[in-house]
Amino acid sequence: MDNLLERIKHHEGFRSRPYTCTEGHLTIGYGFAVKDLELDEDIAEEILLRKVQSLITRVRKKFNWLDSVPPAVQGVIVEMSYQMGVSGVSKFKKALHAMQMFQWKSAADELLDSRWAKQTPNRAKELSNIIRGLDG
C-alpha cells in the first residue's frame, strides 16, 4: 500500500490550493476533484483548528493590542475575522477603538451599527452580546 500511495502522490503531485485539472474540474490536494469530496466531521474539525490557529497569528499581528483585552474580546475578533477576513474586521474602526479603551457598551453598539449586522443579524447579536456582557 505504501508504494501505491507514493506512486499516486508522485504522479498527481500535491497542490495546496484549488486548481482546474485537465478535465476542467476544480481540484485540490493529490488530484481530489472537489465535486467528489466528502468530509468526515473529524477531518473538517482538524482543518478548522489549523485555519483558526493560523488566523489567530494574523489577527495578533494586525491588532497588536489584542493581548491587553479579555479573552472573550479576542475570541469575538478572531471569529469575526474568520467570517470577514482580517481586513474586513479592520474596517470596524469605532468598535475596535472602543474595545481598546475597554468601552464595552460602545463597542457592542458599534458592532450592531454595521452592514455585517444586517447581513448576519443572529451572529452579530450574539457576538455583540459577548462584548456587552463585559460591562457589568
Q: What is the mean pLDDT of residues 48-56?
A: 97
| Portions of the chain given CATH number 1.10.530.40 | 41-135
Confidence band for 135, pLDDT divided at 50, 70 and 90 = confident
Residue with cell 474595545: 99
Separation of CA 129 from chain center: 20
Q: How far, in Å, CA of 39 to CA of 42, rounded?
A: 8
* List of residues 6+ apart from 135 with CB closer than 8 A: 104, 105, 108
- 2 pLDDT band, cuts 50/70/90, is confident
Per-residue pLDDT tens digits for 95-104: 999 999 999 9
Segment 53-61 shows an average pLDDT of 98
Predicted pLDDT at 136: 67
| Reported pTM | 0.87
d(CA 49, CA 91): 25
> Domain 41-135 adopts which CATH fold?
Lysozyme (1.10.530)
- Percent of residues, the chain, with pLDDT higher than 70: 99
